[in-house]
């Protein structure tokens, strides 16, 4: 695993833990992520050949920040209450777009891009659903950030145990 891959994955951790305290919050942030990264990728396909290497980073940052700001304005109009809760994590979408551009994510096949967005969405929605169910049943720690870390750690441990048991067969 290289350093940029670690950075890319760690940037997804903050919205994964912070915005998944409820299923609706996770869905809204994931939809914002999909829309912004899709539009970003489409615009960069057109811009990339026209830019010299030295200006590509600046154009990438400006485009990602503009698209994220437009998406945030749209969410403020659509649901101010949701935006007040999850809006702090929306800014990370712009940074994620720049990191993905730097790693060559938008030059990969469409199937690989769909796979990453799908897995990220499934993880966000699943974690949001689990945290909401556990929090509604009385364990309110699950709806807080430490509870999100604990639940994610338990899910990763369960996955590792499952993979070890299937590989030993």
Residue 45 has pLDDT above 80, yes or no: yes
Question: pLDDT-derived band of residue 1, with 50, 70 and 90 as boundaries?
Answer: very low
SS3 of residue 35 by DSSP:
helix
Q: Identify the residue with better confidence: 14 or 45.
A: 45
Alpha helices in the chain (DSSP H): 3-18, 23-47, 53-78, 80-102, 110-136, 145-167
Question: pLDDT-derived band of residue 59, with 50, 70 and 90 as boundaries?
Answer: very high
Cβ–Cβ < 8 Å for 71, 29: no
At residue 43, the pLDDT reads: 94
At residue 128, the pLDDT reads: 87
**Out of 18-22, 71-75, 157-161, least confident range:** 18-22
- For helices 145-167 and 110-136, the axis angle rounded to 10 degrees is 120
Is pTM beyond 0.75? Reply is yes
Mean pLDDT of the chain: 84
Average of pLDDT values for 116-123? 86
The structural domains of the chain, with segments of one domain joined by +, span 3-167
Average of pLDDT values for 40-57? 91
- Within 10 A of 140 (CB to CB), how many other CB atoms are there? 11
> From the centroid of its chain, how far is CA 14?
8
Query: Would you call 7 exposed, middle or buried from its count of C-beta atoms within 10 A (0-12, 13-18, 19+)?
Result: middle
At residue 10, the pLDDT reads: 61
Tell me the residue length of the chain: 169
pLDDT digits (tens, 9 = 90+) for 121-166: 888 888 888 888 888 888 888 888 888 888 888 888 998 999 888 8
């Amino acid at each position: 695993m290289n350093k940029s891959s670690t950075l890319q994955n760690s940037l997804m951790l903050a919205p994964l833990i912070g915005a998944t305290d409820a299923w609706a919050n996770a869905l809204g942030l994931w939809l914002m992520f999909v829309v912004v990264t899709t539009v970003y990728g489409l615009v960069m396909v057109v811009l990339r050949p026209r830019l010299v290497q030295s200006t590509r980073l600046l154009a990438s940052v400006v485009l990602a920040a503009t698209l994220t700001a437009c998406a945030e304005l749209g969410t403020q109009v659509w649901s101010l209450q949701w935006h007040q809760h999850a809006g702090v994590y929306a800014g990370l979408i712009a940074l994620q777009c720049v990191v993905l551009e730097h790693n060559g994510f938008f030059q990969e096949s469409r199937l690989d891009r769909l796979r990453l967005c799908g897995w990220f969405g499934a993880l966000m929605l699943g974690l949001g659903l689990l945290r909401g169910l556990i929090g509604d049943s009385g364990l309110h720690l699950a709806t807080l950030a430490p509870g999100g870390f604990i639940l994610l750690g338990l899910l990763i441990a369960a996955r590792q145990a499952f993979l070890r048991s299937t590989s030993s067969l």
